[in-house]
Amino acid sequence: MMELAWNEDELRFRDEVRAFLDANLTDEIRAAGLLMTSVYADHERSLEWQRILHARGWAAPAWPTEYGGAGWSVTQRYIFSRERVAAGAPPVSPMGIQMCGPAIIGHGTPEQKAYFLPRMLSGEHFWCQGYSEPGAGSDLASLQMRAEDDGDHLICSGQKIWNTHADIANWGFFLVRTGKYDRPQKGITFLLIDMATPGVTVRPIISPSGEHIQNEIFLDEVRVPKSNVVGTIDDGWTVAKYLLEFERGGVAYAPELQVRLDAIEAAARQVPGDGTGTLREDAAFSRRVAEARIAISELEIYEFRAMSAEAEGKSPGASASIMKIRGTELQQLLTELGLIVAGRYGFAYQPQAGRPGGPVQFPHGDDVNGPDFAAIAPLRYLNERAGTIYAGSNEIQRNILAKLLGL
């Protein structure tokens, strides 16, 4: 039977986490977490926080201890996630520890685990993902970046797009086409590429919020040793599906959503409503807040069920798609509520108010007009429009669920 209340051991763990956060969060690191404008925190502060977590052995909550992970239960990971967000700590970049790391642990060779995992934990290797292409986004199996066999190497040529932090990453994990068979999923290989290899070119993509987080990657006859293949050549789709379960549903959404909704409510108490009271007392706004809180609570119950199944050793499976759909839709709903609270300040472009995950193309000085939460609201709104697209669009996730249900 699934218990919905923390037991004594879990409450002790929660208190340990709170004490750690209180002792180690500097004002600069906390600001990087509280003033985020997308799902990515300020790069330098995020890496600084990762080094602090690594020193404590907490950088990779879901990894087994034999690989340097915390070895926490799914409940401990959930508690840590909730307390981290509540304390204002930024997340670490998910590309390495949350995504590529589990793929290497699950499908990599002993040599790959020994080399890459410690450097991933320390932050020496900072990772990006090379999946989507201009003609292969949600339909990822149609990717065309080719990798030709050349003895001990693969020679890679082609283009990738929407590559987060590729401009600062020194390693990337890529899906490349090594063969053509009866099904497009066959003939794909999962490959680790040193971003300093000759022939790799990165070009920026500036988001509507003015931030440079996304990029294009061009590979022109890039030579990559076959020892960097994770899994086997032509069977990278197996590794990619395994990784996507962690990207889509490996982290619970509800803890962050609850904290963000709390912050929206607190801000609404500082904003005048249409009548004599505050916006929080406005009936229409209060109804929307209540509906959002109910939806988040429903998602949390589902995540508890998924946690219970994972604790029994089961794969995230379909739950990853469900959590991705509801989590990203609720993220977007909260950005809409945030714009309502921001009011007229939401019309202004004020990137200087936040701590974005990358440099801002069009900086506007240091002064901020209005409270920080209001100035950040439109930036979060613009950034999180991508939530229902990345990691496999929500339309694709619904197709996956329909197939599983036999519809």
Cα–Cα distance for residue pair 348/96, rounded to 1 Å: 35
Cα–Cα distance for residue pair 299/247, rounded to 1 Å: 17
Counting Cβ atoms within 10 Å, is residue 222 exposed (0-12), middle (13-18) or buried (19+)? buried
Query: Euclidean distance between the first and final Cα of the chain, in Å?
Result: 30
Counts for the chain of helices (H) and strands (E), in that order: 13, 8
> Alpha helix locations (H) across 35-93?
43-56, 74-87
Closest among 33, 152, 18, 158 to 83, alpha carbons compared: 18
8 is a catalytic site residue: no
Cα–Cα distance for residue pair 5/37, rounded to 1 Å: 32
Cα–Cα distance for residue pair 155/149, rounded to 1 Å: 7
Closest among 342, 331, 321 to 295, alpha carbons compared: 331
Ramachandran quadrant class, 290 (left: phi over 0; alpha: psi -120 to 50; beta: rest): alpha
Which of the following is catalytic: 211, 245, 247, 256?
247
- Tokens, residue 259: 């904290």
> Catalytic residue numbers?
247
